[in-house]
Homo-oligomer: A and B are copies of this chain.
Amino acid sequence: MTPSTVEKIAHPARDEIELSDVLHALSDPVRLQIAAGLAAASCERSCGSFDVRVSKSTCTHHFKVLREAGVIHQRQEGTARLNTLRVDDLEARFPGVLETILRAALSGASS
């Protein structure tokens, strides 16, 4: 899990975040749930702390999609990988998008 094993945890820079990628990342119910949970916590959360009903491998995949789209930031802490929403970057690049989507996800009856 140390840098020697894990190949870098690459994140896109703020200016490299693409709207299409963000929308695609949030268009999956599991990932939307993760993002919403992260917004609700408004702090770092480990991957395993989410009550998603997919396998561990699938979970890793979803976190990777979210990270590579620029939606979340991941940081290694021991065996845990701590996730945060990139609210500032997203707000700067696409104002209001993340907030309105997450609000819709919570209040709406959609998936």
Binding site for B on A (CB under 8 A): 15, 17-21, 23-24, 26-29, 32, 93-97, 100-101, 103-105, 108-111
Contacts and interface: CB of A to CB of B under 8 A. Distances in A.
Copies in the complex: 2
Contacts of A100: 94-97, 100
A1 to B, nearest CB: 31
Contact of A20 (B17, B21, B27, B95): B27
A93 B108 contact: yes
21 contacts: A19-B32, A19-B101, A19-B104, A19-B105, A19-B108, A20-B32, A20-B110, A23-B23, A23-B26, A23-B32, A24-B24, A27-B27, A93-B110, A94-B101, A94-B108, A95-B103, A96-B96, A96-B103, A96-B104, A97-B104, A100-B100
